[in-house]
Amino acid sequence: MIFIFIAVIFFFDQLTKVLITQALSLHQSVPLIKGVLHLTLVRNRGAAFGIFKDQAPLFILTSLIAIILISVQLKKDKLKIFSIYTLSLSLILAGALGNLADRLVFGYVIDFIDFRIWPVFNIADSAITIGAILLGYSVLTSKNA
């Protein structure tokens, strides 16, 4: 069940990127809520917020390591999909797979969600961020902490 959840997020991430690249030209911006939420097509050659530009081999390697470690953890513990810990790892894994796919195919990550007060991001970035927040919460509230 966990891996179906991961596959659905990965598919949705990749589908939205295909649709955006077909609908917009590079750097074109279309307001959904004027001044608040726009769709803006950008190519991110760096990490979060565009830092460490043009370090694709490093990002690919770190993504692969994270994907392997998280996959092993999910399989080893046979965690339940309803635990916050499992959900957090699943979100991080799905996001890492989505952005890794972009880097391997294009050499950059396709970003398009633009709130104008934050760097442009995508569904995979959202999954990683939400997963990291949930992971932190899970670790901080666990009985072993």
Q: Which of 13, 102, 111, 114 is catalytic?
A: 111
Q: Which of 13, 102, 114, 125 is catalytic?
A: 125
The contacts of residue 125 (CB under 8 Å, 6+ apart) are 48, 95, 99, 111
Active site includes 125? Answer: yes
Q: Output the six-digit token pair for 50.
A: 């565009």
The contacts of residue 113 (CB under 8 Å, 6+ apart) are 37, 39, 120, 121, 122, 123, 126
**CA separation for the pair 18, 41 (Å, rounded):** 11
Helix axes 2-23, 84-106, angle to 10 degrees: 40
CA distances from 42 to 12, 51, 112, 135 (A): 18, 14, 6, 29
Active site includes 111? Answer: yes
Partners of 121 in beta bridges = 113
Which residues are marked as active site? 111, 125
